[in-house]
């Protein structure tokens, strides 16, 4: 699997040793409020998931691929190209609190979109965004994603069906 080096960050495959720092970063109410990522997400289950996605990254056709965002050697978040289905896929991402609001994800989305379109030859990228997630919507808009409409009852979260905004970019 590839590594992508940029001035501000590196995108690299997950390693088993990322489990603890991933566990620390992802178990945050800030992330739970804007996603359907479970909280708490246990360390054992995270270790299993890292094994699962590492294996998935070797399969053909590729079902999903996830990158660690690393800044100066430190774990800063992750981004996944998931649900790859023929020419289309979904993207999902999060950044560790101390790196939020610094323009990191805007640039990461740019790099990963470029990789998905040019290297994986995908045609359509899609991100379902909760309506109150202004930061995610803005990072997508800055990368040329367009809001195509409302996905009714797209998520089931905290015992309720909730809508998502459909952001997509076609290459
Ligand atoms: C969404 C998330 C990944 C954004 O990452 P980030 O690195 O902080 O984003 P960036 O700094 O690149 O840019 C975000 C943009 O949103 C803007 N923004 C941030 N909070 C905002 C708010 N409450 N209202 C409006 N705009 C907001 C920023 O100002 C910036 O736009 P600008 O450059 O025009 O000023 C991060 O907030 C996060 O991890 N959230 C929790 C998980 C999540 O929501 N994942 C995505 C699910 S769809």
pLDDT band at 7 (very low <50, low <70, confident <90, very high): very high
Q: What average pLDDT does the segment 132-146 reach?
A: 98
- C-alpha torsion angle, residues 33, 30, 145, 65 (rounded to 10): -100
Q: What average pLDDT does the segment 59-75 reach?
A: 97
Share the mean pLDDT of the chain. Answer: 97
Pocket of ligand 1 from Cβ distances under 6 Å: 30-31, 34-35, 93-95, 100-106, 127, 129, 133-136, 138-139
- Tell me the domain boundaries of the chain: 4-127
Mutate to test the pocket of ligand 1, among 77, 135, 167 (most ligand atoms within 8 A of CB): 135
CATH classification (class only), 4-127: alpha beta
DSSP letters for 44-101: HHHHHHHHHHHHHTT-SS---EEEEEEETTEEEEEEEEEEEETTEEEEEEEE-GGGTT
What is the pLDDT at residue 45? 98
Tell me which residue has its CA closest to atom 20 in ligand 1: 135
CA of 133 to the centre of ligand 1 (A): 8
Phi, psi for 67 (deg, rounded to 5): -120, 140
């Amino acid at each position: 699997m590839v590594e992508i080096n940029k001035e501000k960050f590196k995108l690299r495959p997950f390693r088993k040793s990322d489990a603890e720092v991933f566990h620390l970063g992802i178990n945050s109410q800030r992330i739970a409020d804007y996603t359907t990522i479970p909280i708490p997400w246990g360390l054992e289950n995270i270790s299993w998931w890292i094994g699962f996605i590492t294996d998935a990254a070797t399969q053909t056709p590729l079902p999903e691929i996830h990158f660690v965002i690393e800044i100066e050697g430190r774990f800063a978040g992750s981004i996944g190209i998931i649900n790859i289905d023929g020419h289309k896929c979904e993207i999902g991402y999060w950044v560790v609190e101390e790196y939020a609001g610094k323009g990191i994800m805007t640039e990461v989305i740019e790099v990963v979109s470029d990789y998905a379109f040019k290297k994986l030859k995908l045609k359509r990228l899609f991100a379902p965004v909760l309506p109150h997630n202004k930061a995610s919507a803005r990072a997508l808009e800055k990368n040329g994603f367009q809001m195509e409409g409302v996905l009714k009852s797209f998520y089931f979260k905290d015992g309720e069906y909730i809508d998502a905004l459909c952001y997509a970019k076609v290459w």
